[in-house]
């Protein structure tokens, strides 16, 4: 999924984080640098202030000493020496030469801070250099007058201004160095505070815009998906890692929505299939009424309810008179039509609370809850009118028929358990048959006479002979319903099962197997893929290879097939054939890993027919292949997958079968299909 996402140009998340954090780092560095500078500056300012004050004192001393010397010196030599000393001091002050000193303040230039003062005195020193010589000249000239009281008045205006300027500069410089650190630090601190607030606000909004909001949207989407809101998407318009993560999440969410919808559809289909299976297990395929199995269950429930609550309960046994004659005269298809129409008319004539079931063959049984003999006769009369009032007619044939009914009730003292209701109604029905049929007999009206009634004995014999056939037919009707359910989910599997049964039936005939064994193998072939009802349709219809997990699911279908028919007494011999039809002759099959003749004969025959039909039929992912390809595969797998003694006889039997037909009618699905043929 992630490979399908193209990386769009844009700033990455790390780039955005760097852009957000960089101003903070710069501000932090500036703050630390400023603090370090001011710490150093403050450390240096203390001696500098002291130095400024000392320098002022020294210059003042020079001022007065120079004046005194000019007044006191008498010789030209002394004046020249003083001149050179002052000049040297001024130049030393300008150049920051700590090695020089003057007599007025020895060693003063070596104190810390003098050099720093030079930064602010540069312009004054140049001014001194320009006016130093005229000053000294005036001082020299003043000494010739010898008038101490008026010595300063003899100085020129420039000389006096220079002396005052020196003094003022010293004072201002000292004050500047004393005040500068605190004022400057406060201003810078205020600027840093404002910058910190601005950068903090910008960082908050940038973080919210590029990181916090997308993450919040993603978390909200994830929480909604976890609550079952499939297909939830988030809108993250950035092109960084968060944007790509959001796009991946959206794709995953949409795919998850599709998957969940598919699962929901499969769930509904499975529920519908289970519903059909449940209905088919309790409904008679031909008449649409409940079957004998369901009747046995509901009879016990209704009997217990009626006994516990002391409510009436009646049971009606109904038999179609002369039904064998109808089959012999009009044929079994018309007989099936009559039974189907009987089921419809019975449903329309009964109340909602009444329960009608097909007991077997042309016999029906009806449970009438909360109904005594009198109420039962009213219901039965309406039912008899519905059955006998109109002819049974299809597009070809038509006939009228009559029915005989026997009724039992909890009112009978002989009823001690639920089976007594059936027995008494059956005896009443036989009594009605012995009277010629077309009547309704109550259990209380049954004749009690010694000896054996030949007509009754013959009726019992007939019913015993046909009862097992009728029961098996009822179960096979359920099998047809199961195949219909399989066809609704997977048409291929349903048709495949019927064709495999056709091929297996023909091959067992060639092998001259007993009719009962042939019937068992045929039934097993019809039912061997019923377990596919539990396999997801997406796997059954998948184009291409299956994953290991999907293969495991498919391999469970024999167990599922056996589970569906388990408990049906008439199909117990089919179970082992269905369960082991994927075993291999060499022992590498499943589910039991059986080898050689340990595999049931029916399963070995079914494996051949199953493989042949699978190869020669079309699948969603490939076309049908000719019989020659199937025969080649069977020969190659002889002794490995298939019984080597059966391969060649099966190929011969299939060639004979294909030479006679290219189409097969499937009665279970009521359709005709074409089969692969080369002859």
CA 596 to CA 369: how far, in whole Å? 57
Cβ atoms within 10 A of the Cβ of 452, count? 7
CA 679 to CA 672: how far, in whole Å? 19
Alpha-carbon torsion (611, 572, 319, 364), positive or negative: negative
Contact indicator for 519, 501 with CB cutoff of 8 Å: no
- What is the token pair recorded at 4? 């399908």
Residue ranges of E strands in 410-494: 440-442
CA 20 to CA 205: how far, in whole Å? 10
Residue matched to tokens 């009987």: 342
Any catalytic annotation for residue 549? no
Contact indicator for 13, 240 with CB cutoff of 8 Å: yes
> What angle (nearest 5°) sits at the alpha carbon of residue 438, between those of residues 433 and 440?
80
> What angle (nearest 5°) sits at the alpha carbon of residue 356, between those of residues 350 and 361?
130
Closest CA to 288 of 364, 212, 219: 364
- What is the token pair recorded at 273? 């299939």
CA 602 to CA 518: how far, in whole Å? 9
Contact indicator for 477, 444 with CB cutoff of 8 Å: no
- What is the token pair recorded at 609? 């027919």
E strand or H helix that includes residue 319: strand 313-320
CA 677 to CA 654: how far, in whole Å? 10
Strand 403-409 and strand 440-442: the pairing is parallel
**Per annotation, catalytic residue among 302, 362, 431, 575:** 362
CA 261 to CA 264: how far, in whole Å? 5
Q: Which residues are catalytic?
A: 362
């Amino acid at each position: 999924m992630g490979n399908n996402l193209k990386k769009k140009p844009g700033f990455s998340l790390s780039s955005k984080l760097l852009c957000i954090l960089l101003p903070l780092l710069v501000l932090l560095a500036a703050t630390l640098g400023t603090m370090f500078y001011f710490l150093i500056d403050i450390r240096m300012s203390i001696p500098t202030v002291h130095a400024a004050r000392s320098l002022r004192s020294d210059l003042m001393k020079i001022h007065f000493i120079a004046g005194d010397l000019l007044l006191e010196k008498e010789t030209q030599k002394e004046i020249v020496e003083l001149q050179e000393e002052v000049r040297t001091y001024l130049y030393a002050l300008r150049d920051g030469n700590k090695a020089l000193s003057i007599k007025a303040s020895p060693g003063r230039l070596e104190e810390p801070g003098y050099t720093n003062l030079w930064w602010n005195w540069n312009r004054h020193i140049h001014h001194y250099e320009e006016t130093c010589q005229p000053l000294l000249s005036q001082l020299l000239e003043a000494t010739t007058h010898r008038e101490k009281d008026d010595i300063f008045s003899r100085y020129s205006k420039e000389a006096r201004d220079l002396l005052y300027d020196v003094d003022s500069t010293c004072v201002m410089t000292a004050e500047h160095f004393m005040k500068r650190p605190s004022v400057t630090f406060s201003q810078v601190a205020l600027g840093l505070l404002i910058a910190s607030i601005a950068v903090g606000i910008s960082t908050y909004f940038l973080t919210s815009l590029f990181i916090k909001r997308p993450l919040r949207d993603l978390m909200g989407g994830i929480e909604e998906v976890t609550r079952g809101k499939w297909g939830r998407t988030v809108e993250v318009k950035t092109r960084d890692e968060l944007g790509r993560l959001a796009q991946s999440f959206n794709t995953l969410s949409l795919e998850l929505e599709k998957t969940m919808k598919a699962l929901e559809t499969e769930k509904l289909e499975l529920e519908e299939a289970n519903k059909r299976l449940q209905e088919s297990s309790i409904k008679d395929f031909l008449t649409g009424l409940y079957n004998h199995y369901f009747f046995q269950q509901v009879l016990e429930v209704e009997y217990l309810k009626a006994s516990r609550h002391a409510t009436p309960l009646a049971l009606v046994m109904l038999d179609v008179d002369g039904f064998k004659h109808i089959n012999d005269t009009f044929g079994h298809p018309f007989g099936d039509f009559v039974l189907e129409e009987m089921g419809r008319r019975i449903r329309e004539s009964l109340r909602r609370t009444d329960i009608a079931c097909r007991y077997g063959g042309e016999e029906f049984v009806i449970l009438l809850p909360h109904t005594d003999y009198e109420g039962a006769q009213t219901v039965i009369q309406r039912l008899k009118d519905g059955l006998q009032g109109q002819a049974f007619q299809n597009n070809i044939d038509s006939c009228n028929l009559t029915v005989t009914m026997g009724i039992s009730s909890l009112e009978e003292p002989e009823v001690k358990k639920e089976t007594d209701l059936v027995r008494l109604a059956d005896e009443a029905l036989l009594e009605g048959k012995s009277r010629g049929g077309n009547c309704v007999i109550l259990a209380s009206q049954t004749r009690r006479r010694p000896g054996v009634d030949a007509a009754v004995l013959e009726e019992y014999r007939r019913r015993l002979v046909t009862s097992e056939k009728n029961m098996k037919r009822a179960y096979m009707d359920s099998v047809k319903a199961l195949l219909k359910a399989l066809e609704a989910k997977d048409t291929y599997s349903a048709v495949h099962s019927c064709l495999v049964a056709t091929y297996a039936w023909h091959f067992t005939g060639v092998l001259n197997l007993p009719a009962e064994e042939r019937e068992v193998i045929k039934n097993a072939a019809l039912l061997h893929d019923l377990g596919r009802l539990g396999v997801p349709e997406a796997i059954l219809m998948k184009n291409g290879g299956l994953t290991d997990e999907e293969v495991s699911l498919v391999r469970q279908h024999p167990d599922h097939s056996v589970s569906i028919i388990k408990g049906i007494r008439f199909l117990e011999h089919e179970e082992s054939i269905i369960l082991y039809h994927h075993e291999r002759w060499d022992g590498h099959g499943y589910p039991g890993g059986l080898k050689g003749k340990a595999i049931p004969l029916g399963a070995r025959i079914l494996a051949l027919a199953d493989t042949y039909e699978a190869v020669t039929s079309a699948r969603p992912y490939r076309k049908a292949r000719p019989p020659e390809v199937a025969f080649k595969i069977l020969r190659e797998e002889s002794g490995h997958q298939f019984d080597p003694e059966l391969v060649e006889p099966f190929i011969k039997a299939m060639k004979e079968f294909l030479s006679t037909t290219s189409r097969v009618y499937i009665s279970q699905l009521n359709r005709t299909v074409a089969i692969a043929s080369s002859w």
